[in-house]
């Protein structure tokens, strides 16, 4: 698989340190409280499984699927929730867990949707942030690493459903796209 990767952006070791830093930030912020991690499928599963095991704070987990439809690789701004939460989150401390925030369109829709369920608190944690791609502003409470405006894969992130299982984050070779 490695022959398809142009460059490793974030190594396994750096990912591990990043997850530990995020987990201790969250543990500090929620002392004595319970939280609900809401992962957005499918990209967040790898990060979420590492994050939840690094947390000392008691946590429940749930998942959602939000799809944004549009032409090609850019989202249109129309977001559909195709799988909703399995449990109510009213009066819960909710942290939405995402793989990467690019345009911010998906996340701002999901956060507004979750607010309607009246959680006690609602925060956002992303492994990767691509601030140069932002179209819709969204407040991110916990950021793992900032990445340049390039298409990255690995650690849950895919290109055409592949490369999610790479243990690092890398940039695909351009010939893969053409």
Q: Which residues carry out catalysis?
A: 102
- Answer for which of 39, 43, 154, 156 binds Mg ion (CB under 5 A) is 43
The entry of Mg ion, ligand IMP, none near residue 166 (CB within 5 to 8 angstroms by kind) is none
Report CA-CA distances (Å) from 70 to 92, 105, 175, 176. 33, 12, 23, 21
CA 43 – CA 173 distance, rounded (Å): 20
- Answer for which of 41, 59, 61, 68 binds ligand IMP (CB under 6 A) is 68
Residue with tokens 């799988």: 83
Q: Is 156 in the site for Mg ion (CB under 5 A)?
A: no
Quick check: 79 and 109 in contact, CB under 8 A?
Answer: yes
Residue whose C-alpha is closest to residue 100's, from 148, 61, 54: 148
Write the binding mask 107 to 146 for ligand IMP: x where contact by CB under 6 A, - elsewhere.
Answer: x----------------------x----------------
The entry of ligand IMP, Mg ion, none near residue 157 (CB within 5 to 8 angstroms by kind) is ligand IMP
User: Crossing angle for the helix pair 45-54 and 12-29, nearest 10 degrees?
Assistant: 60
* Range 3-42, binding ligand IMP (CB under 6 A): none
Q: Is 101 in the site for ligand IMP (CB under 6 A)?
A: yes
End-to-end CA distance of the chain: 17
CB nearer ligand IMP, residue 57 or residue 128: 128
User: Least distance in Å: CB of 28 to ligand IMP?
Assistant: 26
Report CA-CA distances (Å) from 153 to 43, 69, 79, 143, 173. 10, 20, 22, 17, 11
Give contact residues for ligand IMP (rule: CB under 6 A). 43, 68, 75, 98-107, 130, 151-153, 157
Give contact residues for Mg ion (rule: CB under 5 A). 43, 99
């Amino acid at each position: 698989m490695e022959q398809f990767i142009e460059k490793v952006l974030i190594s396994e070791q750096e990912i591990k340190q990043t997850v530990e830093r995020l987990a201790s930030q969250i543990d500090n912020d929620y002392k004595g409280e319970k939280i609900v991690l809401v992962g957005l499928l499918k990209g967040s599963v790898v990060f979420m499984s590492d994050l939840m095991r690094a947390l000392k704070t008691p946590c429940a987990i749930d998942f959602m699927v939000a799809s944004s439809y549009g032409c090609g690789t850019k989202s249109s701004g129309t977001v559909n929730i195709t799988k909703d939460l399995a449990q109510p989150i009213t009066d819960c401390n909710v942290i939405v867990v995402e793989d990467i925030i690019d345009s911010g369109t998906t996340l701002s829709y999901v956060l507004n949707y979750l607010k309607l369920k009246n959680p006690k608190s609602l925060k956002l944690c992303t492994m990767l942030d691509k601030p140069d791609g932002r179209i819709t502003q969204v407040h991110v409470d916990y950021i793992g690493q900032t990445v340049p405006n390039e298409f990255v894969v690995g650690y849950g992130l895919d290109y055409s459903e592949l490369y999610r299982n790479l243990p690092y984050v890398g940039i695909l070779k351009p010939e893969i796209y053409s």
